[in-house]
């Protein structure tokens, strides 16, 4: 018998289920693409980290190159001056920190031993009722554990040496990335735009400079905040008599690039060093100094310097730092927040740009392109003007008369009125 006529199979499925299915397989494809991308990044993690570090250093140094260009320096001379000066200062700071550690090594060992003795006396006099025999047993167990795991500790030291070689290799690569971006960054950006489809090229060309302004402002603002933190905490621990005040201040400066978590870690390290070397009273005073500086940073410096550029909620910052740490360790934590800030700028700009281009398809309910566009860098002599602010082209009238709004039906021509 012939099959009975009935509705199509797709029509039987509820509309909500069909929408969920369509969205589900697209999400699965997107998750697969993200997984493949993460695997590729994991395979070339050293290259990605080196490029990210070079990009952040470029964001710090590039405004100085542009300023020298406006003063009449050639592109090569300005790039060389800033590159050599910037990396020379970083090298001198690193050398000074290592020299301070080596110079104070003997005094530090003596102070640590004295601090351990004071800690032992404090534990014995504490209300926890710990006896001298229990402390000796703990030390013996620790020594025996070190003896049993000496092979693992040795292999960890060898692995640390290999990590050190990888670090220096990545540092050299980051320096080369920074050099080429400083010298030819605008041309590299124009070359990258060739890979963007023509339909989206105008929007991406407008979003790129704004993302760079956000990244540059974030890096420079973070450097200022980190410098103030390092100077404040460094002066405090110096006058409290804590050894190696300068290396600790440098550590505070570096850890300030990890929002929220970095300040906690560097402050904890300073308190531990003060406790081990100078005792409990000094440690409490150092803790007070650290808390005062961090309150100044969180309530005054961060809103004043970074508030306008990095419009990201603190919860998003914490989640981004956590995700970056889980994915790529400390480098991931450093890159997470500027990545979120840049993504926030790009997405907001592209959305406003699309609404301005197609107002009938995207009703304007948020910011406009001009409101989301920070001031672009001024033109550099010899390189032409910066990318123009893209705006939607005016609708052109078709031959024969003006265009109608989208969706409006054609009205029949009305006959002339008789008088």
Residue 202 lies in a domain: yes
Residue 112 lies in a domain: yes
Q: How far is CA 311 from CA 131, 214, 280, in A?
A: 55, 10, 40
Using DSSP's 3-state secondary structure scheme, residue 256 falls into: coil
Using DSSP's 3-state secondary structure scheme, residue 378 falls into: coil
Report the number of distinct structural domains present in the chain. Answer: 1
Phi and psi (nearest 5°) for 307?
-60, -40
Residue 36 lies in a domain: no
Q: Where are the alpha helices (DSSP H) in 129-278?
A: 132-148, 150-193, 198-239, 245-255, 261-278
CB-based contact 182:82 (threshold 8 Å): yes
**Domain carrying residue 97:** 46-136+159-357
Q: What is the C-alpha separation between 159 and 161, in angstroms, rounded?
A: 5
Residue 411 lies in a domain: no
Q: What is the C-alpha separation between 230 and 299, in angstroms, rounded?
A: 17
Please, which residues have CB within 8 angstroms of residue 178's CB and are 6 or more apart in sequence? 54, 55, 57, 58, 61, 83
Using DSSP's 3-state secondary structure scheme, residue 290 falls into: helix
185: alpha, beta or left, given left = phi > 0 and alpha = psi -120 to 50? alpha
CA angle (229, 234, 238) in 5-degree steps: 160
Over the range 379-404, which residues count as b (16 or more CB within 10 Å of their CB) and which as e? ebeeeeeebeebeeeeeeeeeeeeee
Nearest one of 233, 237, 280, 287 to 255, comparing CA atoms: 233
Strand (E) or helix (H) holding 55 = helix 45-70
Please, which residues have CB within 8 angstroms of residue 309's CB and are 6 or more apart in sequence? 214, 217, 218, 221, 341, 374
Residue 387 lies in a domain: no
Residue 415 in tokens: 């006959």
pLDDT, tens only, 334-385: 888 889 889 988 988 888 888 887 776 655 455 555 554 555 554 444 454 4
CB-based contact 23:143 (threshold 8 Å): no
Nearest one of 242, 263, 260, 241 to 252, comparing CA atoms: 263
pLDDT, tens only, 185-211: 989 999 999 998 888 888 899 999 999
Q: How far is CA 150 from CA 96, 139, 140, 162, 173, in A?
A: 33, 16, 15, 19, 35
Question: What integer best gives the mean pLDDT of the chain?
Answer: 79
Residue 386 lies in a domain: no
> Is this model's pTM higher than 0.85 or not?
no
Residue 87, number of CB atoms within 10 A of its CB: 17
Please, which residues have CB within 8 angstroms of residue 396's CB and are 6 or more apart in sequence? 403
Residue 367 lies in a domain: no
CA angle (221, 223, 227) in 5-degree steps: 120
Residue 145 lies in a domain: no
Q: What is the C-alpha separation between 334 and 329, in angstroms, rounded?
A: 9
pLDDT, tens only, 290-336: 999 888 887 777 777 776 666 677 788 788 888 888 888 888 888 88
- pLDDT by residue, tens only, the chain of 419 residues: 555 566 666 667 788 888 888 889 999 999 999 899 888 888 888 899 899 999 999 999 999 999 999 998 998 999 999 999 999 998 898 888 888 778 777 777 777 777 777 777 777 777 777 777 777 777 777 777 777 766 676 666 676 677 788 888 989 999 999 999 999 998 999 999 999 888 888 889 999 999 999 899 889 888 888 898 899 999 999 999 888 888 888 888 988 888 777 888 888 888 988 888 887 888 899 999 999 988 888 777 777 777 666 667 778 878 888 888 888 888 888 888 889 889 988 988 888 888 887 776 655 455 555 554 555 554 444 454 444 444 444 444 444 444 444 444 444 444 444 44
């Amino acid at each position: 018998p012939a099959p009975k006529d009935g509705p199509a199979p797709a029509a039987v499925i509820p509309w909500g289920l069909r929408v969920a299915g369509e969205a589900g397989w697209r999400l699965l494809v997107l998750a697969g693409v993200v997984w493949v991308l993460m695997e590729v990044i994991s395979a070339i993690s050293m290259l990605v980290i080196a490029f990210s570090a070079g990009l952040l250093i470029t964001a710090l140094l590039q405004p100085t190159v542009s300023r020298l260009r406006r003063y009449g320096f050639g592109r090569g001379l300005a790039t060389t001056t800033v590159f050599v000066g910037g990396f020379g200062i970083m090298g001198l700071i690193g050398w000074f920190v290592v020299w301070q550690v080596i110079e104070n090594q003997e005094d530090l060992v003596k102070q640590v031993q004295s601090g351990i003795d004071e800690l032992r006396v404090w534990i014995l006099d504490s209300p926890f009722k710990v006896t001298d025999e229990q402390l000796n047993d703990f030390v013996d167990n620790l020594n025996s554990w070190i003896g049993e795991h000496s092979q693992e500790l040795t292999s960890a030291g060898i692995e640390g040496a290999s990590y050190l070689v990888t670090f220096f290799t990545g540092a050299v690569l980051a320096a080369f990335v920074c050099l080429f971006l400083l010298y030819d960054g605008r041309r590299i950006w124009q070359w990258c735009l060739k890979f963007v489809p023509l339909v989206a090229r105008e929007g991406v060309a407008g979003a790129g400079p704004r993302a760079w302004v956000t990244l540059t402002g974030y890096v420079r603002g973070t450097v200022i905040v980190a410098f103030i933190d390092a100077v404040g905490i460094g002066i405090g621990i110096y006058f409290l008599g804590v050894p190696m005040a300068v290396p600790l201040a440098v550590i505070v400066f570096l850890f300030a690039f990890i929002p929220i978590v970095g300040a906690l870690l560097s402050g904890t390290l300073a308190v531990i060093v003060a406790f081990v070397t100078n005792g409990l009273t000094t440690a409490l005073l150092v803790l007070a100094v650290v808390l005062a500086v961090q309150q100044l940073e969180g309530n005054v410096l961060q809103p004043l310097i970074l508030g306008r550029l990095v419009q990201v909620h603190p919860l998003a910052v914490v989640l981004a730092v956590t995700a970056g740490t889980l994915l790529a360790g400390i480098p991931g934590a450093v890159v997470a927040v500027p990545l979120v800030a840049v993504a926030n700028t790009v997405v907001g700009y592209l959305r406003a740009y699309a609404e301005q281009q197609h107002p009938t398809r995207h009703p304007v309910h948020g910011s406009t392109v001009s409101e989301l566009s920070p001031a672009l860098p001024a033109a550099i002599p010899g390189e032409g003007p910066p990318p123009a602010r893209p705006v939607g082209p005016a609708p052109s009238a078709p031959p024969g008369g003006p265009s109608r709004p989208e969706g409006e039906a054609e009205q029949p021509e009305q006959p002339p009125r008789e008088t």
